[in-house]
Amino acid sequence: MWPASSTWPACGCTTCTGTPGGPLWMVRTTSVASWPRWAASLVCRSSAWAPLSSRVGWTSCSALAGPWANICAGRSSNEIRTCDSHGCGQYTAQRNHRLHQGVDVLCSDGSTVYAPFTGMIVGQEKPYKNKNAINNGVRISGRGFCIKMFYIKPVKYKGSIKKGEKLGTLLPLQKVYPGIQSHIHIENCDLSDPTMYL
């Protein structure tokens, strides 16, 4: 049996990335004498501890490198889009028959977009199935993070990038959604809330 969860240490630990696009897991080894030997290794995900059964497929471990850099040129902070006629920009905002699975960071059409953290651009990501003017983006992985960034024309689709380095240019959202608060859509690969890192 596991001890009561109220006696467990807080989740504040090293992060491990799994397969690309997979969930982010945080690992901590504890040596509480009263716990069973097999309970020595735990994982925490989103502040909840659970047994660690296997590390198969895990590729690297490092401390989270937050907070993120300013993402849009001309803005002093990463401000989340409020509500407009096209919806709201916060995590889990209602979108027709679904919940918004990322956050929308305000940015003017044509503005330079910067990498939020140091890592690797691992490929192109497209939010839509059609060929509209804003259907472009990238996936970035590194420093314990894995995110998708939509509505940008990137400088490249593969390769390393540093925190604060130019990642691309915001595409013309006003052409597709007139009157919307132009923004970059950012979502974690595991669809958890990225707000705390902005």
pLDDT per residue as tens digits for the range 46-72: 334 344 443 333 333 333 455 899 999
Kindly state whether residues 113 and 172 are assigned to the same domain: yes
* Model confidence pLDDT, tens digit, residues 1-47: 334 444 444 433 333 333 333 333 333 333 334 333 333 344 444 33
Domain match, 16 and 105 both:
no
- Mean per-residue pLDDT, 115-135: 94
pLDDT tens per residue, range 85-111:
999 999 999 888 889 999 999 999 999
Give the Cα separation of 22 and 20 in Å (integer). Answer: 5
Q: Rounded mean pLDDT of 165-173?
A: 98
pLDDT of the residue at 167: 98
- Residue 76 lies inside a defined structural domain of this protein: no
- Could you list the residue range(s) of the whole structural domain that residue 28 is in? 5-62
Q: Which of 42, 62, 82 is the last residue of a domain?
A: 62
Three-class secondary structure of residue 145 per DSSP: strand
- Number of domains observed in the structure of the chain: 2
Is pTM beyond 0.75? Reply is no
Residue 149 lies in a domain: yes
Identify whether 81 is part of a domain. no
| Residue, of 22 and 127, whose pLDDT is higher | 127
Query: For the stretch 114-130, what's the b/e string if a residue is b when 16 or more beta carbons lie within 10 angstroms of its beta carbon?
Result: bbbbbbebbeebeeeee
**Measured between alpha carbons, how far is 182 from 172 in angstroms, rounded to an integer?**
8
Asked whether residue 99 falls in the same domain as residue 189, the answer is yes
> Are both 139 and 44 inside the same structural domain?
no
User: What percentage of the chain has pLDDT greater than the value 70?
Assistant: 67
Share of the chain above pLDDT 90, in %: 57
188 with 116, same domain: the answer is yes
| Whether residues 56 and 102 fall in one domain | no
Domain match, 121 and 26 both:
no
